[in-house]
Homo-oligomer: A and B are copies of this chain.
Amino acid sequence: MTVLPRPAARARPTMNDVAREADVALKTVSRYVNGEQNINAAMAERIADAIARLGYRRNLSAASLRPGRSSRTVGLVISDLANPHWAALARGAERAATDRGYLLVTGSSEEDGARHDALVDRMLDQRLDGLVVVPPREPGRPWSALVPPVPPVVFVDRPLDTPGAHAILADDRDGARAAVASLVRAGARRVALVGDSWLIPAMAARREGYRDALADAGLPDDPALQHDGAHSLTQAQELVAGLLGTPAGGAPPVDAVFAANNRASLGALHAFRDAGRRLPLVGFDDFEAATLLDPPVSVVAQDVGGMGAAAVHLLLDLLGGTADVPSRVVVPTTLHLRGSERP
């Protein structure tokens, strides 16, 4: 029995093949494919036929080779796609990209500078048209270290370390302030702040808002109440479990918790469940099960999907040279009081 060689995968037809088949010049096919107007109707029809007959597909990658031509692809670097917060951001970004004919490349940095930088490098080498970036907690190389020309970048949740950098930010400070104020209004006097590293600009801003609310109420700003070690749900859970225990040295106990992101909220809720005892709680960032719990969890909601979409729209406007592109967009937050802020 003879083994036939596997037939060589037929190569895709090229524009040249179409031109030959339709008996027109290459350039005419190019014009047709690009939707240019000035084409003889008869030729257009011959070309359409040839394309159908050959099963021709345009090679966008080749089309974008020439400098100045866009690849219609943008990149998004976040910390972790599996976190519903970032997934919502990515979804918003993706929708905006698709709506405008772009493809979205995503990557998770896992809050690691080196990983983040590697993703950015890879995306730059791929010649994506632009990037939406959420810088990692552990910063790697400064953005300014990149040798220009660098494609446009829109930062989310981050300070502007590059002059003229564009950014989409939530009104973290104001949201946190409203959250903590609601706890104080419900009677809390010693509100614990459970957050991720202060190196994260959004976190630092939320701490400011926390302090604002305390100051507004004439309460002391006690650093011992402010925790920035909740990098994960588990760490937040352990941290809050500690808060529920008897404080060392006879310090007065914590009487409420402000969870500065959705991991912290869930961690606190796990700790409450484990201890069989809960403290008044308000979280930053809404989460799916917030209204299912008893009591329902109060949160400061931000339109995360909207922020992702806004970032991509801003990026594409930048690319398109649209005039008057704002360099900084601050998105408001909304406080949803559902009951968990009360003792």
Q: Are A106 and B106 in contact (CB under 8 A)?
A: yes
Interface pick from A154-162, A164-172, A196-204, A286-294: A286-294
Q: Are A288 and B305 in contact (CB under 8 A)?
A: no
Tell me which residues across on chain B come within 8 A of A73, comparing CB atoms. Answer: 105, 126
Tell me which residues across on chain B come within 8 A of A61, comparing CB atoms. Answer: 61, 64-65, 71, 126-127
A60 is contacted by which of B58, B60, B107, B125 (Cβ under 8 Å)?
Answer: B125
Q: Are B108 and A105 in contact (CB under 8 A)?
A: no
Q: Are A125 and B87 in contact (CB under 8 A)?
A: no
A12 is contacted by which of B81, B149, B266, B288 (Cβ under 8 Å)?
Answer: B149
Known: A103-B122, A119-B98, A149-B9. A127 touches B84 (CB 8 A): no
A332 beta carbon closer than 8 Å to chain B: no
Tell me which residues across on chain B come within 8 A of A294, comparing CB atoms. Answer: 294
A20 beta carbon closer than 8 Å to chain B: no
A104 is contacted by which of B107, B266, B288 (Cβ under 8 Å)?
Answer: B107
Q: 8 Å CB contacts to B: which residues of A1-59?
A: 9-12, 55, 57-59
Tell me which residues across on chain B come within 8 A of A64, comparing CB atoms. Answer: 61
Known: A104-B106, A288-B288. A81 touches B59 (CB 8 A): no
Query: What is the total number of copies of this protein in its complex?
Result: 2
Closest to A119 in B: B98
Size class of A's contact patch? 35 or more
Tell me which residues across on chain B come within 8 A of A58, comparing CB atoms. Answer: 125
Closest to A305 in B: B82
A90 beta carbon closer than 8 Å to chain B: yes
Query: With A and B bound together, what is the CA distance between A293 and B295 in angstroms?
Result: 11
Query: With A and B bound together, what is the CA distance between A65 and B12 in angstroms?
Result: 13
Q: Are B60 and A127 in contact (CB under 8 A)?
A: yes
Tell me which residues across on chain B come within 8 A of A9, comparing CB atoms. Answer: 148-149
A227 beta carbon closer than 8 Å to chain B: no
Query: With A and B bound together, what is the CA distance between A12 and B148 in angstroms?
Result: 8
CB distance from A277 to the nearest CB of B (A): 14
Chain A 191-232 per-residue mask, 1 if CB under 8 angstroms from chain B, else 0: 000000000000000000000000000000000000000000
